[in-house]
Chains A and B, each alone.
Chain A
Amino acid sequence: MSACATSPAALRPVLAERGQREVFCGLTGIVWLHRRIQDAFFLVVGSRTCAHLLQSAAGVMIFAEPRFATAIIEERDLAGRADLDDELDRVATRLIARRPDIRLLFLVGSCPSEVIRLDLGRAAARLEERFERSPRVLAYSGSGIGTTFTEGEDACLSALVPTLAPTLAPAGREAPARLLVVGALADVVEDQFRRLFAALGIGPVDFLPARRADAMPPIGSGTRYVLAQPFLGETATALERRGAVRIAAPCPLGAEGTRLWFESIAAAFGIDPALADGVLSPPARRAAAALAAPRARLAGRRVFLFPDSQLEIPLARFLARECGMILTEVGTPFLNRRLMAPDLALLPAGAQLAEGQDVERQLDRCRAARPDLVVCGLGLANPLEAEGFATKWSIELVFSPIQGFEQAADLAALFARPLARRALLEV
Chain B
Amino acid sequence: MNSKTTSLIGAALVLALALTGCGSGSSGSAGSSASTGGAGATAAYDPDATIEIGSLYEPQNLDNTAGGGQGVTEAFNGNVYESLFRLTDDGKVESLLAKDHTVSKDGLTYTFTLRSGVKFHSGKPLTSADVKYSIEKVTGPDSQSARKSSLSVIKSIDTPDDSTVTVKLSSKSISLVYNLSYVWIVNSQAKSLTTTEDGTGPYTLGTWKRGSSLTLERFPGYWGTPATNKQVVFHYFTDATALNNALLTKAVDVVTSEQSPDALANFENNGDYKVNNGQSTTKLLLAFNDRKAPFDKVLVRKAITSSIDNKKLLSSIWGKYGTLIGSMVPPTDPWYEDLTTVNPYDPNLAKKELAEAGYGSGFSFTLDTPNYDPHPTVATFVKSELAKVGITVNINVITADEWYTKVYKNRDFAATLQEHVNDRDVVWYGNPDFYWGYDNPQVTKWVEQAEQSDTADGQTELLKKVNQQIAADAASDWLYLYPQIVVASSSLSGYPVNGLNSQFYAYGIKKSGGRG
A and B, one complex? Answer: no
Interface residues of B (CB under 8 A from A): none
Interface residues of A (CB under 8 A from B): none
